[in-house]
Amino acid sequence: MHANQLSGALLAALVGASALSGCSAQGNSESDAAGAAAVRFSSVTQTDAATACHLLAPQTASELEKGSGSCGRGLTAADPPAGGALRAVEVYGLDAIVRLDGDTVFLARFEKGWRVTAAGCTPQPNGPYECDIKGG
């Protein structure tokens, strides 16, 4: 490889690395925010259903209201597990999966931040997660 080709390849690699690091920084910010939202939701579900309901996506809150008349009563009846400590966060555009010690929580990004779309989720061997709390 000639010196000009080498410096061109090096420049291309540096520009690519720079672009990737910008995405990575944004990804970390979104991961942190999604993880924080899931942990907060999990920490208040047993003690403050009204606050937990404000952390739900609109369709999820609406689904809980259908069976019980209020989101808070529906959430209490669903009896979500204590989530515990944060284990992993995966962000896919406007959606995220957050794994806690005792729960897997699905979230979506809305104008007001990350909101829980499903919780109390357990993986199934031959299919998608089964969730106690979910939108319609």
Question: pTM of the prediction?
Answer: 0.78
Phi, psi of 93 (to 5 degrees): 70, -110
Q: Mean pLDDT across the chain, nearest whole number?
A: 82
Give the 3-state secondary structure of residue 34.
Answer: helix
**Model confidence at 42: pLDDT above 50:** yes
Pick the CATH number of 3-134 from 2.60.40, 3.40.50, 3.10.450, 1.10.1740: 3.10.450
Q: List the one residue out of 134, 115, 117, 102 whose CA is nearest residue 33.
A: 115
The most distant pair of C-alpha atoms in the chain lies apart, rounded to whole Å, by: 74
Q: Please report the pLDDT score of residue 11 as a whole number.
A: 31
**Model confidence at 87: pLDDT above 80:** yes
